[in-house]
Amino acid sequence: MRSRLLISTTVLAACAVIAAVAGATKPGSGSSTGSAQVFVPNPVQSLGDESLTDQKDADAGVPAAA
C-alpha cells in the first residue's frame, strides 16, 4: 500500500512538472505580435527622388581608413 502511494505521488509530481514546462512556452492571452519593414526595397521609387543613384557600385561610402 505504501509503495502505491509513493508511485502515485511521483507520477502526480512528474505530471505537474511536465504541465508547467509545456505551459511556460505558450504566449499569454493578451500577447500581440508586430510587424516591421527592415529597409525600403526601392528608395528611388518610394521617395520619388531621381537623384538617388548607386554610383555603379563604387566604394564612395566607405571611409578611406578602411
- Tell me how far CA of residue 46 lies from CA of 36, 41, 52, 57, 61, in angstroms: 17, 8, 11, 21, 22
State pTM to two decimals.
Answer: 0.34
List average pLDDT for each run of 10 residues in the chain, which is 66 residues long. 81 75 62 76 84 75 70
Name the DSSP class of 27. Answer: P
* Rounded Cα distance, 52 and 58, in Å: 14
Residue 49 pLDDT: 86
Q: What is the pLDDT of residue 39?
A: 79
pLDDT for res 29: 64
Check residue 26 and give its pLDDT.
59
φ, ψ of residue 57 to 5 degrees: the values are 60, 30
Amino acid 53: pLDDT:
77
